[in-house]
Structure 1
């Protein structure tokens, strides 16, 4: 079985100029670089990863592309471009000259405007993404899902994956409105969902029973053919660790067939991100 970690990060604090993470998040307030992840991949039989941006800057994307070039296990990078910038199409085409760039991710969760993504002004950037064969990672909270639905309906040819299942409010146990909005997006065949980030939303002291209802919605709505597993390392360390999430996610998908588990744990990422 080919195993892909389709959501991990690298960063150097010295280059983040006060950006997230803050110092009080001691578990992740340090540099995280390729040599830190290699032992985890080896221990758990992970064949490759998708490296995802964590800061809204082209400089960060260039740093990730450089890291990917020096790290054979990084099969693809999801970067960042200001999709409403006047030169967004040019920036996208320029970055996409690097074959490791597989997608882009605006940090929608940090934007005050919930409808930012539902804007025709994005058309030149999205057309450039389509021309370059790039996908779209949606870093959203549940409140952003209606606007994301409108965006996805406008661009049916754009491959979209919802990061961390849209960060449902697992800690508070709320469920209904998130599930209804997620199911509407799942009805669109180009939309996928990542099984990742759940323990962080559940918080310290989480149990499998806390996660199960949310994972069940994701698997039922998208089916095993459109769910993509990721660790969200090192952010996962806020509430667990790599091994803990590996064990929990294995139990969450334990009811799937061997072929379905192979899809969730690697094949879907390879197809979605056009990984080599």
Structure 2
């Protein structure tokens, strides 16, 4: 019998709500994306996961216009009320904005809210950039608003590249009572030996803080394919650094649908954790997500 899985990172959307899916296709980390410039409703996601052993899921924000952050949570809540999926929501709030406290308070009215993601990743390669600078997380305004997440019992999903991890460690150190989930296993974007070693050092630096977990998601982002050997390598090294008790799995669907199907992605994830003992394997695939997202 297959171990049950929680998909701790997936998306649903209506194209009309996504500014980045409208107009001309522009270069992005995950390559050409015309096939997903369309609606991806919860019903299609449920069709994708059928028969894979996935028993629950966590929705993660999809870059609606910032002023519609509360509306995004309402949209996902409606899907959950209609279908029973997803089981938790990580929304967006602009933590650099003066009205962040009001946005967070409004989102707190939705019972599935569990956290916030604001993408802070910056890279020398302009195609890989999202934040305007490499250390926006040092902003006093950002930190003042980040502190408000603890009031709601929420976590923060941290998305940075390896060269930013020292600054991210400073951020984490300043908030010992807030849980951080490092997105996409630290976004290893280059297989050059020096890049891999820099990633390992940064991951170890963040793993030194007990309030940081990490997510084994988006592992096809930079190679644009479902590569079981690559997934197994990143999974093995990440678990060695963080421990099985602080790793969760996520599909990053429908982004990964650009190059694979959901069942194949799940098989790669299962194969990657197969060498673990029963308790550790179940922790990575299911139990840690239940704990972190209070499922």
Contact 1:49–1:76 under 8 Å retained in 2: yes
1:190 has 2:187 as partner: no
Uncovered stretches (5+) of structure 2, i.e. residues with no partner: 26-31, 122-129
| Inter-CA distance 103–248: structure 2 relative to 1 (3 Å threshold) | same
Aligned to 1:9: 11
2:186 to 157, 161, 166: 166
Alpha-carbon distance, 1:167 to partner = 1.4
Superposition pairs of residues 34-45 of structure 1, within 5 angstroms? 34-45=42-53
CA separation of 1:250 and 1:155: change in aligned 2, threshold 3 A = same
Report what 2:35 is aligned to: 27
CA deviations on 1:78-116 (whole Å, 9 max, x unpaired) are 000111211212211221121101100002131121111
Q: The residue matched to 1:97 in structure 2 has which SS?
A: coil
CA shift for structure 1 position 237: 1.4
- Normalising by structure 1, we get a TM-score of 0.92
**Structure 1 residues 250, 22: closer, same or farther in 2, change over 3 A?**
farther
| CA separation of 1:41 and 1:129: change in aligned 2, threshold 3 A | same
1:181 is matched with which residue? 202
Change in 2 beyond 3 A, CA 1:172/1:240? farther
What pairs up with 1:170-249 in 2 under 5 angstroms? 170=190, 174-204=195-225, 207-249=227-269
CA distance in 1, matches of 2:148, 2:289: 22
> Gaps (5+ residues) in structure 1?
none
Aligned residues: 274
Query: Residue in 1 aligned with 2:272?
Result: 252
- TM-score (normalised: structure 2): 0.86
Q: Distance in 2 between matches of 1:96 and 1:21?
A: 33
Compute the displacement of 1:127 (Å).
2.6
Q: Is the 8 A contact 2:181 2:213 kept in 1?
A: yes
Q: Which runs of 4+ in 1 moved over 6 A?
A: none
For residues 146-195 of structure 1, give each alpha carbon's deviation from its aligned partner in whole angstroms, at most 9, with x where no partner exists. 22111111001111101111210256564100110011101111100101
CA distance in 2, matches of 1:18, 1:213: 32
Tell whether 2:77 aligns with 1:65. yes
Q: Which residue of 2 aligns with 1:90?
A: 102
Q: State which of 140, 145, 163 in structure 1 corresponds to 2:160.
A: 140
**Using the alignment, how far apart are the partners of 2:286 and 2:8 within structure 1?**
8
